[in-house]
Structure 1
Amino acid sequence: MDAVVFDLDGVLVDSEQLWDEVRRSVVAEHGGTWKEEATRALQGMSTPEWARYLVDELGIRLSAEQAAETVIGEMAKRYEGGPPVLPGAEDTVRAVAGRYPVAIASSSPPSLIEAFLTAADLGDVVRVAVSSEQVAQGKPAPDVYLEAASRLGVGASACAAVEDSTNGLRAALAAEMTVIGVPNPHFPPDPLVLAEAAAVLTDVTELPEALRRLQ
């Protein structure tokens, strides 16, 4: 492995529940109907994709642009006191960056990725940060991972990817990266997809040791 690419939500920031809560609230407030499968379907989508899903599949009475603006605005408010960085996440990223070039490949918009980097003081450590807004398709398509590898100047197959969700795992697998799963306890990934990971961790702080074993 020549580089490590981190997902953000659910891996470094405990935000999957926040996204779910905010989207559910927006759907309820604007005349939509939440579906049981929506939570997992939305995980990994780019902003344009999930905004269209809220309109087309869940029936909210907003345009896709208004839906995106409303949800991201509320998420930004939740981040005003700092994003909910997971325990040990900053130290883990720094430890990994001491051995490998590090990137973030996230479905969050650039503003929320930047909020994390600022809060965690990792702007000088994370060489590349890519939002799925900046590529053609969100996860489970591999686009955001392939773009992160390209910006690092490393072949995707020479990268490790750290993921928590079903769609994120599928995206990293499709990019032919060495996939390390850190299952989200609130929204566990599909066991069959997780079984394709090279390693499965209970906590992101276990990552440096896992990388040593896989090298």
Structure 2
Amino acid sequence: MADDATAGLPAALLWDMDGTLVDTEPYWIETEFALADRYGGTWSRAQALDLVGNDLLTSGRYIREHMGIDLTPERIVEELLDGVVARVEQAVPWVPGARELVLEARAAGIACALVTMSYERFVAPILAHLPPETFRVIVTGDKVELGKPHPEPYLTAAAALGVAPGDCVAIEDSNTGAKSAEAAGCTVLVVENHVPVLPGPRRVLRPTLEGLSPGDLGALLLR
């Protein structure tokens, strides 16, 4: 049972990373165009946006087919990671309000998990800019069998925290991620970034994270 300090708050916040916590989608897109230039492929911004929220190997297969380069999906993923890690080590582009909200949630005693399809070696340099154990659980794309839009990533995070998905608010910026969290049973706070996100039965759309408090997130829970 919740104590007075946590009554009305979500049991946990389950955070997507790319486009939600940090606006790294431009880093991925720049790296994809650099990959096309390096190997003589063709690429477009529309194709890049098709990949937002996807499991990385799914993106690697898509790039191999549509960019027309003779690399394995696994190699494509590693080269993409090389590029975005180098960029994020230079600067972490926080989404407005995101860093403040995750730190307020931590101070309020709300458990936070990071649920991202990026790989661990990309997550590490971003987490280095937050206090230790800001996220009690970290679920990355290289640690799950089925990535977003499958519910496994969010189910894994909730189980690791020992909470019911229905008592959690997931924070997402893509249809792929929202489908994953919704299928897991979470309330999904959607803040669009680079791609439009459709309405859904467990989705609450907001224009920004700025100004939101942990108490505001508790009021969003859909029972």
Shorter-chain TM-score category?
0.7 to 0.9
Q: Deviation digits for residues 170-195 of structure 1, max 9, x if unmatched?
A: 111111110101110xx2323xx235
- 1-structure distance, mates of 2:203, 2:73: 37
Count of matched residue pairs? 210
Secondary structure class of the residue paired with 1:129 = strand
Question: What residue is the counterpart of 1:200 in the other structure?
Answer: 205
Q: 24-33 or 169-178: which moved more?
A: 24-33
Instruction: Quote the residue 1:49 is aligned against.
Output: 58
1:37 CA drift (Å): 4.7
Amino acid corresponding to residue 13 of structure 2 in structure 1: V
Secondary structure of the structure 1 residue equivalent to 2:63: helix
Identity of aligned residues (%): 31
TM-score by length of 2: 0.85
Aligned to 2:19: 10
Structure 1: runs of 5+ lacking an equivalent: none
Between structure 1 and structure 2, the one with the greater Rg is 2
CA distance in 1, matches of 2:44, 2:146: 23
Alignment counterpart, residue 107 of structure 1, candidates 117, 136, 144: 117
- Equivalences for 1:138-149 in 2 at 5 Å? 138-149=147-158
Measure how far apart 1:151 and its partner are.
1.1
Deviation at 1:35, TM superposition (A): 5.2
**Deviation at 1:197?**
4.7
Offset at residue 213 of structure 1 (A): 2.4
- Partner deviation per Cα, 1:111-157 (whole Å, 9 max, x = no partner): 221211112x2332210111122111222222211111111111222
User: In the alignment, is residue 178 of structure 1 matched against residue 183 of structure 2?
Assistant: no
Aligned twin of 2:140: 131
Counterparts of 2:165 and 2:100, CA distance in 1: 25
Opposite residue 133 of structure 2, the aligned amino acid is D
**Amino acid of the structure 2 residue aligned with 1:166:** N
* Residues 47 and 107 in structure 1, CA contact (< 8 A), matched pair in contact too: yes
How far is the alpha carbon of 1:43 from its aligned partner?
Answer: 1.6
3-state SS of 2:188 partner: strand
- 1:19 & 1:111 partners in 2: Cα distance? 15
> Is the contact between residue 113 and residue 129 of structure 1 (CA under 8 Å) also seen in structure 2?
no
- Please list, as runs of the form range in 1=range in 2, the aligned pairs for 1:17-166 lying within 5 A after superposition: 17-34=26-43, 37-97=46-106, 98-119=108-129, 121-166=130-175
Q: Measure, in 2, the Cα distance between the counterparts of 1:96 and 1:36.
A: 35
**Conservation of the 8 A alpha-carbon contact between 2:170 and 2:189:** yes
Distance 1:82 1:165 in 2: 23
Quote the Cα distance in structure 2 between the aligned partners of 1:142 and 1:207.
Answer: 26
Question: What amino acid is aligned across from residue 196 of structure 2 in structure 1?
Answer: P
Q: Deviation at 1:81?
A: 1.9
Shift of 1:27: 2.4
Moved over 6 A (4+): none
